[in-house]
Chain A
Amino acid sequence: MELDFGPAVRDFRDELRDWLAEHLVGEFAEHRGVGGPTDGAAWEVRLAWDRELAAGNWLGVGWPREYGGRGLGLLEEIVFEYEYARANAPYRATGNALDLLGPMLLAMGSEAQKKRFLPPILSVEELWGQGFSEPGAGSDLASVRTRAERADGGMRAERDDGGTSFGGTSRPTGVESGGEWVVSGQKVWTSFGIHADWLYVLTRTDPDSRRHKGLTMLLVPADQPGVEIRPIRNLAGQDEFAEVFLSDARTDADMVVGEIGQGWRTAMATLGIERGTTLLPQQLTFEREAESLIGLARERGALDDPMLRRRIVDAWISVRIMRTTNLRTIAELTAGRTPGPQATTAKLYASTRHQQLGHLAMELAGPAGQIVGEDYGLDTRQRSFLLSLAETIYGGSSEIQRNIIGEQVLGLPKEPRP
C-alpha cells in the first residue's frame, strides 16, 4: 500500500527519498532503526542526525515558513513520516519538541513565543522536556502541585538589568520582559530531561485552586540555578528520563502558553497530540519489527511450529490493522473530517499488540535472548521488548485510555470523583 496524494506530493516524496538515500549513510546508517519515544540509545549520533535533517530543511515540514518550517500541508507531513519510517532512519532525538511542544505553540502560543521558540527547535539548537508528571500527579494530572507565582505580585515590572534575559540564563528571549514567574516543585519522568534546555511545565498558579482549575502552562529555561535535573535509570539501563527539581526557578512573565489559569486545556491539547499523531511513525517501526520477526522465524525453521505460526500471523495481522487504522484517520483528516473513534482506540490497540510482538520476538530469540552485551548493551529485540512496557503507561496508561474511551467516546457515566 503506497500513499499517493497526486503529483505535487509525489515530487516532494521523491525529493525526500533521494535526500534520505544520500544522507542516511555512514554512522547514521549504522544507527538505522535505533530509538523510539523513550529510547535514549545512541543519543549523540541521533542528535547529529537531527541536525543533518535540519540542514536539509526537513524538520517542521508542515510548520509555517516564517518560523523556519517548509510551509507545506498535512499531506506532506504524513508523507514525510511515512518515508522517514520507510527509510528506517534513527528515531529523532528531538521528537518531543517537534511532535508535542511545537504543535502546542503553533496552536496556542503567542506570536512572540512562536517567533522566539520555533526556529531553534527546527534548527536543533534548543532541546525541550515535558514537565507534566509529578511524584503525586501521574494519571491524576489535575493534582499537580508545582507552584508558580508572580515575583512582582502580578504587576508589570522592569528588570533591573533592563535586559532581555531572564532567570539565570543569558539567552536572548526575543520576548519583551515584564516581570517573572517563580516556580517551585518537583517534576518526574521527564523524557530526555537531562538534555533539555527548556521545559514546558504545568504549574499551579492559583494556590487556593483545586483540580484542573488554576493551572498554568509555563515555558521555563532549564539552565539556571533554580532547576536541578537528575537522570533516572530506566529498566533498559538508560538515562532516558529524569526528575526535575524546581526551587524558585524563574521565567519571564510572558512565558505563559495559552491563558493564566487555563493550563489544563493546554495540557490536554498536547496530550491529544501525543496520543494521536505520534503513533504514526512508531507503528511503521512495529511493522518493520514484525517483518524482521517473520524473517527470523523462517531462518530458525520456527514456522513449522503451529503455535508459533499462529502467533506470528496474529502479529502480522496486528501491524496491518494498525496501519489501516492510521490510514483511516489520515484519510479523514485530509478530507477535512473529524477523525472517528479509531483515532482514540488506536493507542490502546497499538501499545498492547506491540508488547505481544515483543514477547514473541523474545521467544524466537530463545536462550540467546537471556544474554546482553557489555555495559548492559541490549540488542534491538531486547530493547524494543523492554521499552514496549512503557507504551501502555506514558501518554496516559491503558487504564486511563479505557476511561477516556468509555466516558468520552461511549458516553458512559464518569467514575465517582472526590
Chain B
Amino acid sequence: MDLTFSEEQDELRKVVRSFLTRHATEADVRRLAADPSGYDPAVWQRMATEIGLQGLAVPEKYGGSGFGYVDLGVVFEETGRALLCAPYFASVALAAEILLRCDDETARGDLLPGIASGETVATLALTEENGRWDESGITLNAHDGAGGWRLTGVKTYVLDGHLADLLLVAARTPSGVSLFAVEAQAPGLVRTPLPTLDQTRKQARVEFTNTAARLLGPEGAAWPGLERTLATASVLLAAEQVGGAATALDAAVEHARIREQYGRPIGSFQGIKHKCADMLVEIESARSAAYGGLWALDTGDEAEIAISAALAQAFCSEAFTRVAGDNIQVHGGIGFTWEHPAHLYLKRAKSSEVLLGTPSYHRELLATRLGI
C-alpha cells in the first residue's frame, strides 16, 4: 500500500526540480525549441552524471541505479513541469523500456549501459505514415539478407529520430513483428527532422533502404514486449502531463492574484476562481490516474498495468490539454501571444495527447481490457 511518496522520493523531486530550475529555464526551452537539434548535450550529460536520471530505473546489472517506476514517475512529473527539451522520454520511457521487455539478454547487456549513462541517445521507431500505435500499424519490412537482417521502408513521428544514436525499430518479418536495433551511422538510413507543432519535443521521419539491422529477441515475437512498453510509456507520459498541467495552473493562479480589473484581482471573481478550482480538481484526478499507473508498474501485476495505463493516457491527456487551455483563458490577451509561455504548454499538451495514441484509442483499449 504505497500511494504516497517516501521521503527519499520527495528528496528526489527536490533535486530534480532544482536542477531543472537552473538548466531548463524558459529561456533554455525557447532556445532549444528554436534549435533543430532540440537539446543541450552538456545538460544531458549533467543529468546523467550529477543525478543519474537516464539510468534511474535501469537495473544495476545494466549500469543503472535500479529504482522503481514511482521514482521514475517523480522525474517525469518534473520534466513535464519544466517542459524539458531533451530526448529523455524517447531514450528512457521508450528505448530503455523496450530493451527491458525484449527477450534478449545479450542485447540488454550491450545496449542498456550506454542509455543508462547518457552516452547513447536512443529511441523507438514504431509508427508509420498510418499513425497507428497497434500491431497492425507495423508494416516496415525486414528481410534476412546476405550478411544479416536488412530493413526497408519508412518510420515517421519518431521521437528525436534525427538525433538518436540508436534506433530500436519495430518491423515485420514473415513470422510477425520483430524488434531490430539500427545504428545511427548505418548505411541506407536517411533521417529528416519534421517541423513540429510542439517545438519542445522533436520528431523525425526515418527512411530505411536495405539498412543493416540487428535482430533483438526471437523473430516474430516482439509485439507483447512492445505493447508492454507502450503501457509503461503511457503511464510515464501521464506523469509528465500531470507536471505540465501543474505548471499551467501555477501560472494561472499567479496571474489571477496579480492582475486587477474592476479594481479587484481577477482571482476574486468566481468566474476565474472557480475555473482555477476546476483545474485543480482535474489535476488531482489526473494525479490519481497517473500515480495509480506507476504503482501498478511497480507491483508488476500485468492485468492491472494494462488497465491503469490505458486509463492514465485517456484521462491525463485530456486533463493536460484542458488545463493548458484554461491557463490561456485566465491570462486573457497576453495568454494568446508568442511571448507568453502559456502556448508552449498548450502545444505540448495537444501533441502529447496523441503521442501514444489518442484518448479515444486508449478508452477503447481500456474497454477491451475490461471486457466491456
Find A345's partner among B256, B280, B366 (CB 8 Å cutoff): B280
Taken together as a complex, chains A and B put the C-alpha atoms of A6 and B281 apart, in Å, by 32
**A111 interfacial by beta-carbon distance below 8 Å:** no
**B277, A310: Cβ atoms under 8 Å?**
no
**Do B267 and A412 touch (CB < 8 A)?**
yes
Q: Which of the four size classes fits the interface of chain B?
A: 35 or more
Are A402 and B3 touching (Cβ within 8 A)? no
Which residues of chain B are near A327, meaning CB under 8 Å?
A: 1, 3, 292
Contact A409 B280 (CB under 8 A): yes
Residues of A within 8 A of B108 (CB): none
Name the residue of chain B whose CB is nearest to the CB of A406: B273
Interface residues on A, range: 35 or more
Contact between A401 and B277 (Cβ–Cβ < 8 Å)?
yes
Q: B2, B4, B314: which has the most chain A beta carbons within 10 Å? A: B4
The yes or no answer to B287 lying at the interface (CB within 8 A) is: yes
Asked if residues B285 and A328 are in contact (CB atoms below 8 Å), the reply is no
Contacts of B291 in A (CB 8 A): 324, 328
In whole angstroms, what is the CA distance A406 to B277 when docked?
Answer: 5
- State whether the Cβ of B304 lies closer than 8 Å to any Cβ in chain A: yes
Beyond A325-B284, A328-B291, is A3–B1 a contact (Cβ under 8 Å)? yes
Contact of B284 among A310, A335, A342 (CB under 8 A): A342
Return chain A residues, CB-CB under 8 Å to B1: 3-5, 327, 330-331, 334
State whether the Cβ of B261 lies closer than 8 Å to any Cβ in chain A: no
Closest to A353 in B: B285
Given contacts A310-B363, A332-B4, A405-B277, contact A412 B253 (CB under 8 A): yes
Residue numbers in A under 8 Å from B3 (CB-CB): 324, 327-328, 330-331
Partner of B372, one of A313, A334, A401: A313
Closest to A336 in B: B4
Summed over the interface, the residue pairs from A and B with CB atoms below 8 Å come to a total of: 135
B268 within 8 A of A: yes
Q: Is A368 an interface residue (CB 8 A)?
A: no
Cβ B280 vs Cβ A413 within 8 A: no
Complex contacts, B304 vs chain A, CB 8 Å: 1
| Interface-side segment among A126-134, A251-259, A314-322 | A314-322
Interface residues of B in 251-274 (CB under 8 A from A): 253, 256-257, 264-265, 267-268, 270, 272-274
Specify the chain B residue showing the minimal Cβ separation from A415: B268
If the complex has contacts A410-B253, A412-B256, A413-B268, are A320 and B292 also in contact, measured as CB distance less than 8 A? yes
Would you give the shortest CB distance from A288 to chain B, in whole angstroms?
15
Q: Write the nearest CB–CB distance from A75 to chain B, whole angstroms.
A: 9
B366 close to A317 (CB less than 8 A): yes
- In the assembled complex, the Cα of A327 lies from the Cα of B311 at a distance in Å of 17
Whether, in the assembled complex, A196 has its beta carbon less than 8 Å from a beta carbon of chain B, the answer is no
Q: Is the CB of A407 within 8 A of B253?
A: no
Task: Assess whether B29 is interfacial by the CB under 8 Å rule.
Answer: no
- Of B273, B277, B360, B367, the most chain A CB neighbours within 10 A belong to B277
- 0/1 string, B310-345, CB within 8 A of A gives 1: 010011000000000000000000000000000000
B57 to chain A, nearest CB (A): 21
Interface string of A87-126 (1 = CB under 8 A from B): 0000000000000000000000000000000000000000
Residue A278, interface by CB 8 Å: no
A249 at the interface (CB under 8 A from B): no
Contact B257 A313 (CB under 8 A): no
Is the CB of B278 closer than 8 A to any CB of chain A? yes
The answer to whether B288 touches A325, judged by C-beta atoms less than 8 angstroms apart, is yes
Which chain A residue has the least Cβ–Cβ distance from B10? A337
Of listed A407, A409, A413, residue having the most chain B CB within 10 A: A413
Contact of B281 with A345 in the complex, beta carbons under 8 Å: yes
CB pair B256–A324 under 8 Å, yes or no, is: no
Contacts of B360 in A (CB 8 A): 310
In the complex the two chains form, is A410's CB within 8 Å of B372's CB? no
Which residue from B285, B366, B370 sits with its C-beta under 8 Å from A349?
Answer: B285
Contacts known (A335-B4, A411-B253); A313 close to B366, Cβ less than 8 A: yes
Q: Does A136 contact B (CB under 8 A)?
A: no
Tell me if A222 counts as interface (CB < 8 A to partner B). Answer: no
Which secondary structure dominates where chain B touches chain A?
helix
Which B residues touch A324, using CB under 8 A?
3, 288-289, 291-292
Among B32-77, those with CB < 8 Å from A are none
Does A416 interact with chain B (Cβ within 8 Å)? yes
Chain B residues, Cβ within 8 Å of A414: 268
Report the Cα distance A309→B249, complex, angstroms: 31
Decide if B273 touches A402 in the complex (CB within 8 Å): yes
| Residue B182, interface by CB 8 Å | no
Beta-carbon contacts under 8 Å, A334-354 to B: 334-335, 337, 340-342, 345-346, 348-349
Whether A403 is near chain B, meaning CB under 8 Å from some CB there, is yes
Closest A residue to B293 using CB positions: A324
Known interface pairs A405-B280, A405-B281. Does A399 touch B4 (Cβ–Cβ under 8 Å)? no
State A297–B370 Cα separation when bound (angstroms): 14
Q: How far is the CB of B165 from chain A (nearest CB, A)?
A: 38
Partner of B311, one of A317, A409, A411: A317
Contacts of B4 in A (CB 8 A): 328, 331-332, 335, 337
Would you call B292 and A313 a contact (CB within 8 A)? Answer: no
Query: B95 at the A/B interface (Cβ < 8 Å)?
Result: no
A9-50 contacts to B (CB < 8 Å) = none
Considering only CB atoms, which chain B residue lies closest to A314 in the complex?
Answer: B363
Chain A residues within 8 Å of B287, by CB: 328, 342
Beyond A310-B363, A321-B288, whether A341 also contacts B280 by CB under 8 A is yes
Known: A342-B287, A416-B268. A402 touches B274 (CB 8 A): yes
Tell me how far the C-beta of B293 lies from the nearest C-beta in chain A, rounded to whole angstroms. 9
Cα of A313 to Cα of B273 in the assembled complex, Å: 30
B276 within 8 A of A: yes
Given contacts A324-B289, A328-B288, A413-B264, are A403 and B270 in contact (CB under 8 A)?
yes
B367 adjacent to A309 (CB under 8 Å): yes
Shortest distance between the CB of B154 and any CB in chain A (Å): 32
CB neighbours of B363 from chain A (8 A):
310, 313-314, 317
Q: Is the CB of B268 within 8 A of A412?
A: yes
In the complex, how many angstroms separate the beta carbon of A334 from the nearest chain B beta carbon?
Answer: 8
A312 at the interface (CB under 8 A from B): yes
Which one of B253, B277, B284, B366 contacts A402 once the chains associate, using CB atoms below 8 Å? B277
Report which B residues bind A (CB closer than 8 A). 1-4, 249, 253, 256-257, 264-265, 267-268, 270, 272-274, 276-278, 280-281, 284-285, 287-289, 291-292, 304, 308, 311, 314-315, 360, 363, 366-367, 370, 372
Q: List 22 A-B contacts (CB under 8 A).
A: A294-B372, A298-B372, A310-B363, A312-B367, A317-B363, A324-B3, A324-B288, A324-B289, A327-B292, A330-B3, A345-B280, A345-B285, A346-B284, A402-B274, A402-B277, A406-B277, A410-B277, A411-B257, A412-B268, A412-B273, A414-B268, A416-B268
Give the top 5 A-B pairs by smallest Cβ distance, nearest first: A406-B273, A412-B267, A405-B277, A324-B288, A402-B277
List 17 additional contacts besides A328-B3, A341-B280, A413-B268; criterion CB under 8 Å. Answer: A312-B367, A316-B366, A316-B370, A320-B311, A321-B285, A321-B289, A321-B292, A328-B287, A340-B284, A345-B280, A349-B281, A402-B270, A403-B270, A407-B273, A411-B253, A412-B276, A413-B257
